[in-house]
Structures are given as C-alpha cells and as structure tokens.
A and B are shown apart, each in its own frame.
Chain A
Amino acid sequence: MSTLAAKVQDVFNEPGCDKNKGKSEKERKKGCTKQLAPGAAAGGCAFDGAKIALQPITDVAHLVHGPIACEGNSWDNRGAKTSGSSLYRTGFTTDIAETDVVFGGEKRLYKSIKEIIDKYDPPAIFVYQTCVPAMIGDDIDAVCKAAAKKFNKPVIPVNSPGFVGPKNLGNKLAGEAILDHVIGTQEPEYTTPYDINIIGEYNLAGELWQVKPLLDELGVRILSCISGDGKYSEVASSHRAKAAMMVCSKAMINVARKMEERYDIPFFEGSFYGIGDMSDSLREIARLLVEKGAPAELKDRTEAVIAREEARAWARIAPYRERLEGKKVLLITGGVKSWSVVAALQEAGMELVGTSVKKSTKEDKERIKELMGQDAHMIDDMTPREMYKMLKDAQADIMLSGGRSQFIALKAKMPWLDINQERHHAYAGYEGMVELVQEIDKALYNPVWEQVRRPPPWQEKTWEERANEAIAAEAAALAADPVKAEEVRREKRVCKCHNVNVGAIEDAIRAGSLTTVDALAEATHAGTGCGGCRDALEQMIEAANADGAVPASKAA
C-alpha cells in the first residue's frame, strides 16, 4: 500500500489544479481525501472512477479483482460506444470467495489472466484492484508483472481500491496507471503535423462521433482519444501527438500535464458542449497545432468550418428558439460539465434558475457565476422534499439532471432530461447542441404533462395542492415561532464533507474571534474537504464581522 499511498499523495500535489494551489501545505497533504459524511453521502468510489476513465478503451479486457459486488452489481452499465471491438463490455472478475480472503487471491488472479488470454487474446489486460484484496495484501503489481512476462502481453495494474477516496480520485489514479504502464510503450505507424490527443472524453452515447467528422474534414487526426472508442495501441502510442485537448474538466488533468512535461505535448482545457465552446475548442486545436509546426493555413480552414457550422446550427435551432425563449431550466448536475451545459442552454434562449455544483471544482463554479452573473443560485445539496419545493419556487419549466434525481422531477410531474453518464442522447458539438434543443422541446411540449397533472375525478384536491398547503403551513409555523425558525436556520449544513452546520460555524467565529477561513477551518474542519463551501464561509465571516460580533470579542 505504500506505493499506492505515494501515488495518492502525488495526485494530490497536482500543480495543474487551481484548487490545489489555493491550499496550504498541510491541507494539500491531506489532499482530496475528504472524509465523506457517513449516512449522508452519495457517489461512486475510487474504483468506480478508475473504471469510468479506462473502460472506454474498447479492445482490452478489464478484469476486476474483487468480490462479486464490484463488477457483478455494475458491469456494462455505461454508454461508451465503440467503432470496433466490444470486448470492453464483457464483465471479467475474479469473484473472490471466502477461501481467497483467507488464503489470498493472487493465484486466482493469475489464473484468471491466463484464462482471459487463452479465450479472448486481447492486446492487453487491465487489472483493477478493489478494497478486499487490497486489505488482505494481494500484490496486483507483482501478479501483473509476472503474468506480463509469462504470457508476453501487457498486463496493467490499476491501483485504485474504492476506499482510498471518491470517483474523482479514481479518475486520476487510472490516469497514473496508463502514464506508468501504457503511454509511450508503442510507436504509431506514422505521424502527421495534425496529430492530437483528446483526453477525458469517453464517447458516451457516441459523442466523439459528433465531433470527429469536423476534425476529419480539417485533416486533424485523433492519434488517441483517452479513452473513448480507444484502442490499446492508440493509447500506447499517444506520446507522439503534437497537441492535446483535455475535455472533462479536471478528471484527467494529471495525464494532460504529465504528457506535456514528458513528451512536450501542449494542452488546453476545452469543451464540446455548446456552440461557442465547440468553436473555441476547434480554434484552440488549430492554434496549438500551428504553434507546433502545422501550416498556418489550418487556422483559416478552421475558421471557415466554424463559420459554416455555426450558421448551420443556428439555422436549425432558430425554429426552436421561439418555442424555448424564456423557458426556465433548472439544472441539477453532479457532473463536472455544469458550466458547459449552462452555455449551451443560454444559446437556445432559455433562462437558468439554478444549478448544482456538487462535484464541480471551484473553477467550474467561477465559470458558472461568470456565465450566469452573480445571482447564480447554487444548489449544492438537497433532500427530495426541498427539491420539490424548489421546483415549485423556481417555477421551472424543465429540469435537467443525472439519472438519480430523475424520479423526483417526474413524480413532481416536471419535464425532465437526462444529461449524465447513462443518457442515451449525444449532445456534443454543433450536432449535439441541435439535438439537445430538440430533446428539450420534445420533453417540454409532450402532451402527457397536461394529462398527468389533472387530478383524479374522486379527488377534490391534487396532492400538489396539499403539499403546497403543507409547505405553507410549515413556513407559517416557523414565522410564528422565531426560536424554531432560528433552530432550522442553524441546522442548515454548510460544509457537506464534514457535516458542519450554520450554527456550529457561527458559534466558532464568535467564540474564537475568527477572521479568516483558514482559522475557521482549523476550528471546525469546515472547508477542508472539497473546499466547495469556502466562499460561503468567507461570506459568513464577513457577515459576522459586520454584525460586530468579532470586533466586540477582539476588543476584550
């Protein structure tokens, strides 16, 4: 585990991460190992994150070393598409049993690797470590090394057991695995001045293919997409690309940055979501390639394609704009793509009434603010009940979110669209933007809404009316009982990671005469997890100072 611990430290030290730069040395060392609040957490583990990041590599066998839960409960459940092999959709697992837990699972792992090679002969095998074998000390690095030597085939250990942290950390540990064992181990057949890598794009619902035709037209070759619709040999020879685009926010920033360091491949962070972002990304690709020696005319050709495609997309969206103008969209996404989707929706004339940025980095939030103005209504963490109330208060016409909150929207009889991993529609590039608008239009104007909102003939009141009454009654009760209202206000959680509420923070500020977020963090642990609440903490300190609470105690 010591090497894994070192790896985790290394990932936490990511200099490319702005959030990290803002932390003190001590905080950085703690890294993103936010201790999640037991009983109040949701989201995948590091193993899940590693699998998400690498499974889109289509022609390799992905072997999960662990009990049945890790693979059996989750295999083949993501929408990454392939243009070739579908071996990546085959679920391989050692399904360790009690005897393996007692005697060690290394033998079973080795035999499993052999069986896969005998039956499926993939170009490589990725072996994923999980919690139980990590605890009993199975050394997957050693088994992979021995197997690779014996069978003369790359066997890649991916050391990312679930309990080391959240999904996001798993993404990065997966990146480390391919940096250590895959990238740079093969040479491409040939190279061109137009070779790029796309990092952090998973080709969900085939989104890469909404973008690729334009790159093809420009003569830009995707040497390797890491990892959507990827082949092992492409990833292995990706170190010969001239430039790279990092797509999924911070998920694989370590891969982009280390490839820049090691192989001199410059990268930019871009998005394929939204017309403006798509055009910017094409421009950046052309700019980096020209800087690295591609003929300058690439830029002109790129501008020509952008002009043509933008005009075409706008022309196709125009008929919908009229129908969607002014419609209120409630955006709830735990994903890192919030800010890209915001841009896309605004282009279609819609108004945003809120967005959740649960998993987004601080920078993402900044971008949302920039796009939506300072009034951005951030919704970080809500119970289903609160969500209904908010849907109602926001008077939203449609809600966009990931699959998990789908049913809250639907039960509130609210039009809903899936924008997360399991979605079936592709929303990338100019094509995708048109598709997104079409889908929103279809959802909004579906005739079922009017029908399902109609109360049954035997009911004098709809349940919504009753819920509204209950909400109103609650509000009235609070208004009538200031003590209770204050209690409720103080109960509200500010720091989700450490479960610190308003009351505890205010008390700490007052008791310790605190004036800085760091001091507050020291006292309450608030803000030392994901860091997402630091802005709120700062505002609370300011407010407390304005109230005079701090100066008074300072004076004492």
Chain B
Amino acid sequence: MARVEFSKKACTVNPLKMSQPIGGALAFMGVQGCMPLLHGSQGCTSFGLVLFVRHFREAIPLQTTAMSEVATVLGGLENVEEAIVNIAKRAKPEVIGICSTGVTETKGDDVDGYIQLIRKRHPELDHMGIVYVSTPDFKDAFQDGWEKTVAKLIEVFVPANVEPAQRAPQRVNVLPGCHLTPGDIDELRDIIESFGLEPTFLPDLSGSLDGHLPEDFTPTTLGGTSREGMAAMGSAAWTIAIGEQMRLAATTLEKRGGVPFVLFDRLTGLAPNDELMAFLSRISGRPVPQKLRRQRGQLVDAMLDGHFHFGGRKVTVGAEPDLLYAIGSWLTEMGAHLQAAVTTTQSPVLEKLDIDEVLIGDLEDLESRSAGADLMMTHSHGRQASERLGVPLFRLGLPTFDRLGAGHELTVGYRGTRTLIFTIGNMFIAQAHEPDPDTWRTSDENVSHFGAESSPELVQLTTMA
C-alpha cells in the first residue's frame, strides 16, 4: 500500500508532467480524418506539435485558433468560427476536435455555445463532426486530457441506445489508455483477432502514428477510428478498457450503448495477460490459440532467465499513473525494488504500488530519489539527471525524442513483457563490474597490512574474510 504525497514546492523543476490539451489532441489523432484544434494562442499548438513530431517522427496534424491578446479579452467566437471554416476548406476533415487551453479557460470562453452558433451559421458544415473538450492547462495532466477526450468522442459519436436491435457477439471495443503505443495497439489487435474477435480501438493510434508510408498525403490524420466505427461501438458485445484512466470512457459507453465492460488496469506481466487470455477465451468461446500458448511459455522462460538480473535491483520510475502502475508492478514482480515513484496526477491505482510513497512531483524529485539506483525509467527528459547521477536511463513514455522507434516500444502482452525483460535485463547485465584483486578488500584506513610501515601487531585478521 503506497501513500500518495504531493510535492510541497512552489517551483516545479524539470517537469515530468505535460499539459492536458495536448493529451486530448493526441486522442483526436487516433480518429480517422480528424484535425485536432487547440483553442488558444498559437504557441500552445506549436509546442505540442514539436513535441509529437519529435516523439513519433511523423508529420502531425494540429491546428490553432491563434488567439491574440485582444481576441482573448473579447472572447474567441470569431477565432473558433474562422478556424473551423478555414480547416473545413483547406483540410476537409471528417471531424474537428477542439481542446481548450489555459488562456481561453481563464477568460471563460463558452465553446459549446460557440459551436451551436457556428452550426446555425454554417449549415454547409453539417456533415462534419465537431467535438469540444474542456482541458485547461492549469488543471490535471496529459493523461486526463486523453481520458476526457475519449469519453467525449463516445458521447458525441455513439448513438444512445441501451438495447440495440442486434448486438454483434464477435465485436469488442478496446479503449487503450494514452500509455499504450501504436505498437502496443497492433500487438493487442493481433491477440484479440487470434480469438476470432473483431476489435475496434478508440482511439486507434496504430493506423495514424505507427510510421507507415501513406498512400497519399492528407493534412488530417491517417488511419484511426472512423466515425462509422465509433457509431457501431454501441452494438458491440464487450468493451475492454486498458488502464484506470479509461474507466470514464468505458462507463460512458456502457451508459450509452449498454455495452458491458471489463477494465484491465495493466497488461504488463504474466498474471494480467493470463487474465486477458482467459477473458478473451470465455467471450469468444474459443480455446487460447497455440501461438499465444507458445508466447506464454517463452515469457515464463524469459522470467526464469531474467530473474537473476532483476532480483534486488533498485529502480526509480517517473511516469503518468497508469504507465507507472503497469511498469512498477511488473518490476516488483520480477524481484526488483522500487526505490522511488514519481507521477503527474492523482489516480486510484497509485496506492496499489509496492512502495511506501508515490510522489506527485517532477524530475528534480525523481533525481533526488535516484542516487544509488541501478536504473531510472522515465521519458527522455530524464537524460540530464541520468548523466549527473551516472544511473542508466530507460526511456519510458512520451516524449522519447532522442531514441528511434518510440511508437513501437512494447509493454503489453506476453511478447511485450518478454521484450521488456530482455531489454532491461540487458541494461542490468551491461552494468556488471568485472572483479579485480581489490574488489573485496576493505578500504578501512584503520586496517594496516603485514609488511607495511605500521607495526605488524595491529593487523586485524578478521578483515581478511
């Protein structure tokens, strides 16, 4: 049972946290033909854009209402309207996803009201979806923006119908948290499809930000969940939510479409994946496929081979709650010791971690708790602390801008867990020191040695052990 503490500092040093509007924007990037739009000054968008470009190494669709000082004071109706009209004209998206920012929330722009007005004024845009999520920068964190946006997408696009005429038994909805990479989603799709089930992911970053070469250039998102796909989610047999952050979305979907849900608070490690397989087998009525049985065997073998290197290792983790929980729990299960855990926002999963205290803080806090650790795990911004402390860094989460393949890092499934064991186990192995004749010699200055200048009767033989 961990205790959740808040940092008492006035000044955040080396932020771990990112803002919730860009968490919301990322969720919109998993919707097909979408243009995410931040309602704020152009800097709000440009910082987020650069962050995603460097992480995914992809062109990123993200627009701004470009609020000036005057527009901010007077209210942003005109800017929102102009932005929607401009985007509709230039990018022809199926959906425009709007997130508010600190600037427009401080003023108190009534964007829902604006959209109603704009809808009235522009009937030619009726075919286009417009979704608005309130995400002030000065509240919550990245993960919260994602959570609210997915729930809002469901509210807008899944028709309210608790008892649909026909429920498709083979169709399952999957609501992945923002800690899952496009690679994780591909892995899960592979697993679920091998049970003969048809998954619909929302959001689906695997189509949009997985680094494939497009057939053509579009200024909006490529791939992602389509509007029809979202609309059909209400008639699926089940919803699988991954990460506590997806509870809100799963509940929303249950209320609207009557779809029952099961929530996996993590999918890293043996036990949670066994639960997933058992569940999929039950709802599909099929036995677990050979392929996955073999993968389980490989994971168990990797755990056996790897545990020598994980046992007793001290690891510190800085990540958003669901990612921290998934990785932290798995590390503990491998025999490693969680030396410190720092996160960005409150979540019920935090207290389940096997550590005394989880701190809602920054990377300065993580650094001050990482001395003497064997490994630090956090996003790329941990690189300075890692260098200063001489503690190796495993880059975990967003942004990972100084390594290749961030979108394909795996942490889910038997196979993902196995890869993690190998990658991190190898980092531990690489730190092994070759012994030399003095490795076990006591450096105590009071100890003198026979034949040295000091008198031989002072030699303490016990230190030779």
Q: Are A111 and B216 in contact (CB under 8 A)?
A: no
A108–B82 Cα gap in the complex (Å)? Answer: 37
Nearest A residue to B64, CB-CB: A41
Q: Is B5 an interface residue (CB 8 A)?
A: no
Partner of B69, one of A163, A166, A403, A467: A163
Nearest A residue to B11, CB-CB: A112
Q: Are B11 and A63 in contact (CB under 8 A)?
A: yes
Q: Which of B110-140 contact A (CB under 8 A)?
A: 136-139
Query: B interface, how many residues as a size bin?
Result: 35 or more
Q: Are B41 and A39 in contact (CB under 8 A)?
A: no
Q: Which of A22-41 contact B (CB under 8 A)?
A: 33, 35-41
Partner of B72, one of A73, A135, A499: A135
Q: Is A67 an interface residue (CB 8 A)?
A: yes
Q: Is A220 an interface residue (CB 8 A)?
A: no
Q: Are B47 and A70 in contact (CB under 8 A)?
A: yes
Please give, as numbers and ranges, the residues of chain A lying within 8 Å of B139 by CB-CB distance.
97-98
Query: A interface, how many residues as a size bin?
Result: 35 or more
Q: Are B46 and A92 in contact (CB under 8 A)?
A: no
Q: Is A277 an interface residue (CB 8 A)?
A: no
Q: Is B10 an interface residue (CB 8 A)?
A: yes
Please give, as numbers and ranges, the residues of chain B lying within 8 Å of A163 by CB-CB distance.
41, 67-69, 71-72, 103
Nearest B residue to A47, CB-CB: B43
Nearest A residue to B52, CB-CB: A73
Q: Which of B22-60 contact A (CB under 8 A)?
A: 22, 37, 40-51, 53-54, 57-59
Please give, as numbers and ranges, the residues of chain A lying within 8 Å of B216 by CB-CB distance.
385, 463, 467, 470
Q: Is A553 an interface residue (CB 8 A)?
A: no
Q: Is A101 an interface residue (CB 8 A)?
A: yes
A12–B458 Cα gap in the complex (Å)? Answer: 82
Please give, as numbers and ranges, the residues of chain B lying within 8 Å of A408 by CB-CB distance.
59, 217
Known A73-B48, A76-B381; judge A108-B80 contact (CB<8 A).
no
Q: Is B214 an interface residue (CB 8 A)?
A: yes
A96–B22 Cα gap in the complex (Å)? Answer: 17
Q: Is A556 an interface residue (CB 8 A)?
A: no
Known A101-B138, A112-B10; judge A135-B15 contact (CB<8 A).
no
Known A73-B22, A75-B15, A404-B53; judge A131-B102 contact (CB<8 A).
yes
A95–B136 Cα gap in the complex (Å)? Answer: 12
A38–B40 Cα gap in the complex (Å)? Answer: 10
Partner of A72, one of B15, B41, B65: B15
Q: Are A42 and B46 in contact (CB under 8 A)?
A: yes
A127 to chain B, nearest CB (A): 11
Q: Is A43 an interface residue (CB 8 A)?
A: yes
Most buried by B among A91, A98, A165: A91
Known A407-B57, A411-B214, A463-B215; judge A39-B84 contact (CB<8 A).
yes
Q: Are A91 and B15 in contact (CB under 8 A)?
A: yes
A68–B145 Cα gap in the complex (Å)? Answer: 13
A89–B106 Cα gap in the complex (Å)? Answer: 29
Q: Are A68 and B15 in contact (CB under 8 A)?
A: yes
Most buried by A among B58, B69, B71, B73: B69
Q: Is A74 an interface residue (CB 8 A)?
A: yes
A446–B143 Cα gap in the complex (Å)? Answer: 40
Nearest B residue to A100, CB-CB: B138
Partner of B86, one of A40, A45, A135, A384: A40
Q: Are B68 and A75 in contact (CB under 8 A)?
A: no
B337 to chain A, nearest CB (A): 28
A107–B10 Cα gap in the complex (Å)? Answer: 9
Partner of A164, one of B15, B40, B69, B102: B69
A480–B229 Cα gap in the complex (Å)? Answer: 38
A86–B54 Cα gap in the complex (Å)? Answer: 22
Please give, as numbers and ranges, the residues of chain B lying within 8 Å of A383 by CB-CB distance.
90, 217, 219
Q: Are B106 and A135 in contact (CB under 8 A)?
A: yes
Partner of A36, one of B40, B50, B59, B66: B66
Q: Is A175 an interface residue (CB 8 A)?
A: no
Q: Is B432 an interface residue (CB 8 A)?
A: no
Please give, as numbers and ranges, the residues of chain B lying within 8 Å of A68 by CB-CB distance.
12, 15, 17-19, 137-138, 141
Please give, as numbers and ranges, the residues of chain B lying within 8 Å of A115 by CB-CB distance.
9-11
Q: Is B85 an interface residue (CB 8 A)?
A: yes
Q: Are A72 and B17 in contact (CB under 8 A)?
A: yes
Nearest B residue to A44, CB-CB: B46
B433 to chain A, nearest CB (A): 28
A92–B106 Cα gap in the complex (Å)? Answer: 22
Q: Are A45 and B41 in contact (CB under 8 A)?
A: yes
A90–B67 Cα gap in the complex (Å)? Answer: 29
Q: Is A139 an interface residue (CB 8 A)?
A: no
Q: Is A59 an interface residue (CB 8 A)?
A: no
A40 to chain B, nearest CB (A): 5
Please give, as numbers and ranges, the residues of chain A lying within 8 Å of B40 by CB-CB distance.
131
Q: Are B65 and A38 in contact (CB under 8 A)?
A: yes
Q: Which of A129-152 contact B (CB under 8 A)?
A: 131-132, 135-136
A101–B102 Cα gap in the complex (Å)? Answer: 9
Q: Are B43 and A44 in contact (CB under 8 A)?
A: yes
Q: Is B21 an interface residue (CB 8 A)?
A: yes
**Can you offer 20 A-B residue contacts whose CB atoms are under 8 A?**
A35-B68, A38-B86, A41-B42, A43-B46, A68-B19, A71-B12, A73-B47, A91-B12, A93-B11, A93-B15, A95-B12, A101-B138, A108-B10, A114-B10, A119-B13, A131-B41, A132-B103, A132-B138, A164-B68, A403-B50
- Hey, which bits of chain B sit against chain A, CB under 8 A? 9-15, 17-19, 21-22, 37, 40-51, 53-54, 57-59, 63-69, 71-73, 79-80, 82-87, 90, 101-103, 106-107, 136-139, 141, 213-219, 381, 384, 401
Closest 3 CB pairs of A and B: A45-B43, A39-B83, A112-B11
